[in-house]
Structure 1
Amino acid sequence: MDNSPTALFDSYEQDFKQIIASIREKLEGGDEGERGEQRKAALRRVEMELDEADEMVSQMEIEIQGIPQSLRPSYTTRIKSAKSDLTRYKKLSKDTLASLNRSDLLARSHSPNGGGGGINSDEPYGSGDRTRLLAGTALLEDGSRRLNESQRIALETEEQGADILRSLRGQREQIQNSRDTLSRADTSIDRASGTLKKMIRRMYQQRVVTAGIVIVLILLILLILWIKFFR
């Protein structure tokens, strides 16, 4: 098992590339003869794969926090490239779906049973069909606008999440440094405490020795006085 600090990042990047290759095949290399529900089903699978690719990019952003600073710039560039690919295929998927929906609306408007009003030589579409077509186009434009707004909010949320992760990492390093400092301080205090105990013990020993010397001197003085006055 590879325990290098870049192993997980490389793994997520490889998964991302495989998902993007599958998306590219469906969007750019799909069968031109696909129409209707088959094409919509393919686009639904693309949407799910885009969500998976988005998750892979998020995991890559998390893993880059643990990569050494000396290696991080090249990996940051790779994340930017992945985000660029993801954004491009999200837009391509959205445009393809919108084009397919417009084609469906036009096909229904040309259908003999698709209109509320009649079709004549002066009106290529019935009035009811034209109204529904305009309403559908407006609905698609509104949906596209909301999708773009949701995508913008998602990107902002990702950036905020990355900032929070960086902040938490910095706080964790500060806590670890503080803990190491406290550990060194405890060691120094233990050493100082031991030194003080030795000094106190030596002080008591010196007091005992001094007291013994004083007692001996007093006894000698008393002995000298006794010899001088009583003998």
Structure 2
Amino acid sequence: MDNSPTALFDSYEQDFKQIIQSIREKLDGDAKDERGEQKKAALRRVEMELDEADEMVSQMEIEIQGIPQSLKPSYQTRIKSAKADLQRYKKLSKDLHAALARSDLLGTRAGMGTPTSDEPYGASDRTRLLAGTSLLEDGSRRLQDSQRIALETEEQGADILRSLRGQREQIVNARDTLQRADTSIDRASGTLKKMIRRMYQQRVVTGAIIIVLVLLIAIILWAKLLR
């Protein structure tokens, strides 16, 4: 298992590229060439894959927070490129959706009141089209809400990572301070022990001097008494 700080980023980027390739194939194929329900189904699949690609970009932005500063610039460039690709295909998908809606609306207007072989139900098709357009708009709003929530979650995750990094730095600084304080205490303790030893040495010397002086006084007194 790759434990490098860029492993997860690379994995998400690879997944993103595979999803984008699938989106490109659908937009250049079924979503462009097909008609009617097949085209709608292809565009729905594209929308789901765009959501997945958006999620991969969000994960990449979270993972870049833990990448060393020396490597960040190149990975930030890769994220910008991924975002640009994602926005380009989102716009293309939106344009195809709009073109499909206009095509359906024009087709319905052409057949209103006069059923044709392509639209046997006449005006009722317009009702269904309007209902479908309303559902599409609701789906678009829900998708925008989901994207907004994802962005908010991403920002919260980034804030949490920054907070954790700051707390880690504080803990490291506190540990270093404690180590320095411990070293200072050891030095002070050694100094106190030396001072105590010297004090005892001075007491012994002083006691010895006193004993010698007492003996000398005693000898002097004894000598005088003998005379």
Q: Please classify the TM superposition score into its range, dividing by the shorter chain length.
A: 0.7 to 0.9
**CA offset digits 1:150-171 (Å, max 9, x no partner):** 3233223323322331232122
In 2, Cα distance between the equivalents of 1:12 and 1:80?
14
Report the residue type matching 1:153 in the other structure.
I
Kept after mapping to 2: 8 A contact 1:23/1:46: yes
C-alpha change, 1:134 and 1:8, in structure 2 (3 Å) is closer
Q: Which residue does the alignment assign to 2:72?
A: 72
* Pairs within 5 Å for 1:67-216: 67-93=67-93, 96=96, 119=114, 126-216=122-212
Q: Which amino acid aligns with 2:190?
A: G
Verify the 8 A CA contact 1:106 1:133 in the aligned structure 2.
Answer: no
SS in 2 for 1:69: coil
CA distance in 2, matches of 1:127, 1:57: 44
Q: 1:230, 1:29 → 2: CA distance?
A: 136
State the shift of 1:102 in Å: 7.6
- 1:201 CA drift (Å): 2.3
Shift in Å, 1:77 = 2.6
Question: Any conservation in 1 of the 2:62–2:154 contact (CA below 8 Å)?
Answer: no
Q: Which amino acid aligns with 2:148?
A: R
2:200 is matched by which residue type in structure 1?
Answer: Y
CA distance in 2 between partners of 1:99 and 1:56 (Å): 28
Q: Deviations over 1:118-152 (max 9, x none)?
A: 7469xx97444433332332332233233223323
| Corresponding residue pairs, total | 223
Task: Specify the alignment match of 1:12 in structure 2.
Answer: 12
TM-score, length-scaled by structure 2? 0.74
Aligned-partner Cα distance in 2 for 1:103–1:162: 44
**Contact 2:46–2:93 (CA<8 Å) still a contact in 1?**
yes
Contact persistence 2:26–2:46 (CA under 8 A) = yes
CA distance in 2, matches of 1:37, 1:190: 82
Q: Deviations over 1:48-103 (max 9, x none)?
A: 54444334323322332233334323322321222232233345445556766787
CA RMSD of aligned residues (A): 3.7
State the distance in 1 between where 2:9 and 2:90 align.
22
Identity within the alignment, %: 82
Structure 1 residue runs without a partner (length 5+) = none
Q: CA contact under 8 A between 1:61 and 1:79: conserved in structure 2?
A: yes
Cα distance in 2 for residues equivalent to 1:140 and 1:47: 11
Q: Distance in 1 between matches of 2:49 and 2:132?
A: 27
Pairwise CA distance, 1:4: 5.4
Aligned CA distance change for structure 1 residues 146 and 10 (closer, same or farther; 3 Å): closer
Cα distance change, pair 135–53 in 1 and its aligned pair in 2 (3 A)? closer
Q: State the SS of the aligned residue for 2:191.
A: helix
List gaps (5 residues or longer) in structure 2. Answer: none
Partner of 2:62: 62
Name the CA shift for 1:95/1:156 in 2 (closer, same or farther; >3 Å).
Answer: farther
Report the Cα distance in structure 2 between the residues aligned to 1:148 and 1:175, rounded to whole angstroms: 40
2:60/2:79 contact within 8 Å kept: yes
Change (3 A) 1:66 1:92: same
